[in-house]
Amino acid sequence: MTIDEELNLLDQQLRRLKIEYEIFFNNPAKRPPTDVEWKVLTLIRKYSDGSRMSFSQRFRYNEMAQRYAVQADLWRKKLRIREEGYRRPQDAILSVQGVRPPEERETKHRPVYGVGRNADGSASDQPFTVQCSDAASEKEKVESLYKALTAAKQKSGEKVSGSFDSFAAFVQKKTSQLRKEYGCDSVVYSVEMQDGQVKLKAKAKP
């Protein structure tokens, strides 16, 4: 199995693990998905040194490893609540079946609003998007995209990994790849929320 195939598998297992934990915390009779989590940890540890991966593969791996770290911390807190009950006021925001009724679930997929700016400098209600045709010469656009992505991750409590230089190199490579693949003039990047995680989306624009 190639590195890309194993990264695809890791992404699939992470999604499955999140679903399995949601089922577990909403059903007191369920057992924690330790077998799925073991598979996730095995793949994360296998590529932890990053020596065999390309830049784009490392960027993708780091994003998934950080996603797991954030979610694993949340699951540990929920497990403690299940075993010990609520001990602090802030624990009440974590929904665990059998301890208190589950709260309203968050929207599965939505744009990230409030990170754009109007012409007068005020906050915009529109999702943040950037259109790139030559990322190497459009540093300001790439920098604004990086800042929007970083701000959205910080706001959602996610850890921010990777420097601006590595992000710029990734956007430049991704833009060239999509332009060549789809024969388009430019690529539109948007910052969105999906499955509780901030995502950077790229779409070819004719």
**Last residue within a domain, chosen from 65, 93, 121:** 93
- Say what the pLDDT of residue 108 is: 41
**Last residue within a domain, chosen from 60, 93, 126:** 93
Same-domain check for residues 89 and 114: no
Same-domain check for residues 38 and 122: no
Same-domain check for residues 72 and 137: no
Residues 139-179 have pLDDT tens digits of: 888 888 888 888 887 777 777 777 788 888 888 888 888 88
Q: Any idea what DSSP says for residue 160? A: P
Same-domain check for residues 121 and 201: yes
Tell me what percent of the residues of the chain surpass a pLDDT of 70: 74
Say if residue 88 is exposed, middle or buried (CB neighbours under 10 Å; 0-12, 13-18, 19+).
exposed
Say which amino acid occupies 134: D
Residue 176 inside a domain? The answer is: yes
- Say what the pLDDT of residue 8 is: 93
Question: Over the chain, what is the mean pLDDT?
Answer: 76
Same-domain check for residues 87 and 130: no
Residues 21-54 have pLDDT tens digits of: 888 877 766 788 889 999 999 988 888 887 788 8
Same-domain check for residues 113 and 201: yes
- Say what the pLDDT of residue 15 is: 92
- Say what the pLDDT of residue 28 is: 65
- What is the pTM for the complete model shown? 0.44
Residue 101 inside a domain? The answer is: no
For 64-111, the DSSP string reads: HHHHHHHHHHHHHHHHHHHHH---SGGGGGS--TTTSPPPPPPPSEEE
Same-domain check for residues 29 and 53: yes
- Over residues 114-119, the mean pLDDT reads 42
Beta partners for residue 187, in sequence order? 132, 204
Range of the domain at 40: 3-93
- Say what the pLDDT of residue 84 is: 65
Higher pLDDT, 28 or 118: 28
Here the tokens at position 69 are: 């770290």
**Number of domains forming the structure of the chain:** 2
